[in-house]
Chains A and B, each alone.
Chain A
Amino acid sequence: MSAETETPTSEIDQGEAGPTRQFLRQFSENRIAIFGLGLLGFLLLLTLLADIIAPYSATEQNYDAVLVGPSLDHPMGTDELGRDLFSRILFGYRIIFTITITGVLAAFVTGTLLGLTAGYYGSWLDEGLMRGVDILMSFPSLILALALIAAIGPSQWGIALVLGIAYTPIFARVARSESVSLSNETFIRSLEIRGVSTPRILVAHMFPNILGPLIVTVTLQLAFGILTTATLSFLGVGVQPPTPSLGLMLADGKDLITTAWWMSIFPGIAIMLPVIAFNTIGDGLRDTFDPKQVNN
């Protein structure tokens, strides 16, 4: 063990860089994750600039160009109403990203709050909250989503709400298990002993310490959220026409797949890309947060 008066070492230099910079350095070494991040950035850019990039309106019908294959005029072809698929996919991204991100963030906030509180207080509060979460979790999330949509009716914010409810248990579980082990840490006990208030301990000390696994869960749930949103649309209970929806486009295309393959292939790829992006980012984050790899 080193003496008290140790001279500054490289370890200390790293310390001065702060944990954030160290984290970024480690994450940036993960090429697949960086690829995912790049892909996601590209997709989000397309989404934000949809008004500029899209050559046509998402809903404008053109009966002179029905079921046209990919061409210079229509890079991804047109559908049975002559709508430009490329434009519809761009605007479809806007819808699906809005729904998924809102829903997952809602689940993140409520789930984390529930799990953090349950794990910190323990005893009957933990039992009560987590049994409720177990009940929610015992329904497959798609079935739960279908049932909830049947109750509140299909709409963009309705689906976001449904995602929020369906994914809350996952965040509650992760937050709870992390916070149970964290609340037994000496430094949390020390904070109690210093008279720091419980809300402050929960928000300012527990939350940042369990953020790592939660962020990983957020990215992975975003991937699932894209899929669930698309699935709901595919089943016809998602975003309603004529609003462009990737799932609905896929459903429209499947009847014409022998004559107009582009109507299925391009929306399918469009759904796949953000899922891949979120998954690779999530995996990269998980590798970076893994304490066993911290010093590699």
Chain B
Amino acid sequence: MARLSVNELSVTYRTEGGDLTAVDNVSFDVLDNEIFGIVGESGCGKSTLGDTFLQLLDENGHISGGSITYDGTNLAALSEKELAENVRGSEISMIFQDPNASLDPVYTVGQQLIETITKHLNLDRSAARERAIKILDDVGIPDPGDRIDDYPHSFSGGQLQRIVIAIALSCEPGLLIADEPTTGLDVSIQAQILDLLNDLAGSHETSIILITHNLGVVAEVCDRVGVMYAGNMVEIAPVEPLFESPEHPYTRALLESIPERHGIKEGLTVIPGHPPDLRHPPDGCRYNPRCPDAREVCQRIHPDNREVPGTAHSHRAACVKHTGFDLGYDDSVPLDRGDDTQATPRTDGGDR
């Protein structure tokens, strides 16, 4: 069952150079107790999307269309006050990239856990403390009974991220949004934190939205993945089919860009060109100026993502190439890109 249902969601920022639609007509579901990954390069709108669920957008940003349905409620229509009262912390939690900056340095971790627990659950202090110790134990902090009274600075980065996760999960939220939760951590600790998220999703009956630019992280823990490009959700699929048979040329290019251990001397594979300026997105498919498969139709049609026929699992892609579209994609007619400078495939480092 879908725990969270995002429907044709658009988020627009007002900027001096005009309106910028950072999230454009995005739809997807997050199922019960699954880890849904959102991947994309910097500026593709993935963090904006993450901030939208709890209305944490900057002042110049607003939801310009669509709905976010959680447990029968449209979060996009709630006031900030209603969100703070009923949703934030208790139903939906969020964790960020830098665990060192995520805790208040002047309180012990126990005080911060208990603050959240007593705020949302009807427990007295000793019961809250017991619960706090149990959660610290759940996230793998050794000697939680002693360490609960320590200040954040006496923990390592990996332990802090565990504590941040403990606080986020202390009130049994139905959904946890994790925005780049492992980016600042070294690789072995990254893996431990990802394992922890994986375990907790099952044992605490929490769905997790994992926002990351790292496909390795996605492969490690996610059940399903949405790939974002320039504000669009260009492909949604379970992890394995996505990695094995990506349907969207952008996803394919992303997968090819993953550095391989033996490929050091050959240099990195890069996607030519750079993401479009979202104030003036290109006509047609937003990826067409960088797409090796782009044809004339791609400059006219801006496809939404559609079910790919013939796949056993639900696999959606926003590319007119696949047969769910019948819009006259003709592989044999090469595209004349004219004078468009962005169209020249570049082999250097993209935007550098």
Contacts and interface: CB of A to CB of B under 8 A. Distances in A.
B240 interface: no
A209 B104 contact: yes
Contacts of A4: 140, 156, 158-159, 189, 192
Contacts of B167: 190, 194
Given A5-B142, A190-B96, A195-B85, A19 B186 contact: no
Given A11-B154, A123-B59, A193 B94 contact: yes
Interface size, A (range): 20 to 34
Contacts of B107: 205
A193 B168 CA distance: 9
Interface in B144-202: 150-151, 153-154, 156-159, 164, 167-168, 186, 188-189, 192
A13 to B, nearest CB: 9
A72 interface: no
Contacts of A64: none
B56 interface: yes
A12 B101 contact: no
Contacts of A195: 84-85, 87-90, 119-120
A189 interface: yes
Interface in B95-122: 95-98, 101-107, 115-116, 119-120
A190 B159 contact: no
A242 interface: no
Contact of A6 (B90, B96, B102, B156): B156
B159 A197 contact: no
A172 B103 CA distance: 26
A15 to B, nearest CB: 3
Contacts of A189: 56, 96
Nearest to B84: A195
B180 to A, nearest CB: 11
Interface in A1-26: 1-6, 11-12, 14-16, 18-19
Main secondary structure of the interface of A (DSSP, over half): helix
A109 interface: no
Contacts of B59: 123
- Best-buried of A4, A12, A194, A205 by chain B (most CB within 10 Å): A194
Given A16-B154, A18-B151, A196 B56 contact: no
A197 B83 CA distance: 12
Given A2-B156, A15-B150, A189-B56, A197 B101 contact: no
Contact of B88 (A5, A187, A193): A193
A78 to B, nearest CB: 53
A19 B106 contact: yes
Contacts of B186: 1
A240 B120 CA distance: 57
Nearest to B111: A204
A11 B151 CA distance: 11
Contact of A208 (B56, B89, B106, B151): B106
Contacts of B90: 195
B98 A194 contact: no
Contacts of A190: 94-96, 102-103, 164, 167
A187 B54 CA distance: 16
A192 interface: yes
Contacts of A208: 106
B10 interface: no
A186 B54 CA distance: 15
Contacts of A11: 154
A176 B128 CA distance: 34
Contacts of A194: 88-89, 93, 116, 119, 167-168
Contacts of B157: 1
Interface in B282-341: none
A192 B88 contact: yes
Contacts of A192: 56, 84, 88
Given A187-B101, A196-B115, A209-B105, A15 B189 contact: no
Contacts of B101: 185-187
A191 interface: yes
Contacts of A3: 188
A193 B54 contact: yes
Contact of A187 (B87, B103, B153, B168): B103
Interface in A208-252: 208-209
A4 B163 CA distance: 13
Contacts of B94: 190, 193
A193 B179 CA distance: 13
B78 to A, nearest CB: 13
A190 B176 CA distance: 13
B164 to A, nearest CB: 7
Interface in B114-141: 115-116, 119-120, 140
Nearest to B54: A193
B142 to A, nearest CB: 7
Contacts of B89: 193-196
25 contacts: A1-B186, A2-B156, A3-B188, A12-B150, A14-B154, A15-B154, A19-B106, A123-B59, A186-B102, A190-B95, A190-B96, A190-B164, A191-B104, A192-B84, A192-B88, A193-B54, A194-B88, A194-B93, A194-B167, A195-B84, A195-B87, A195-B88, A195-B89, A205-B104, A205-B107
Given A187-B104, A195-B88, 15 more contacts: A4-B159, A12-B150, A12-B154, A15-B150, A16-B150, A123-B59, A187-B103, A190-B102, A192-B56, A192-B84, A195-B89, A195-B119, A196-B89, A205-B107, A209-B106
The 7 tightest CB contacts between A and B, nearest first, are A15-B154, A195-B89, A194-B89, A195-B88, A186-B101, A208-B106, A193-B94
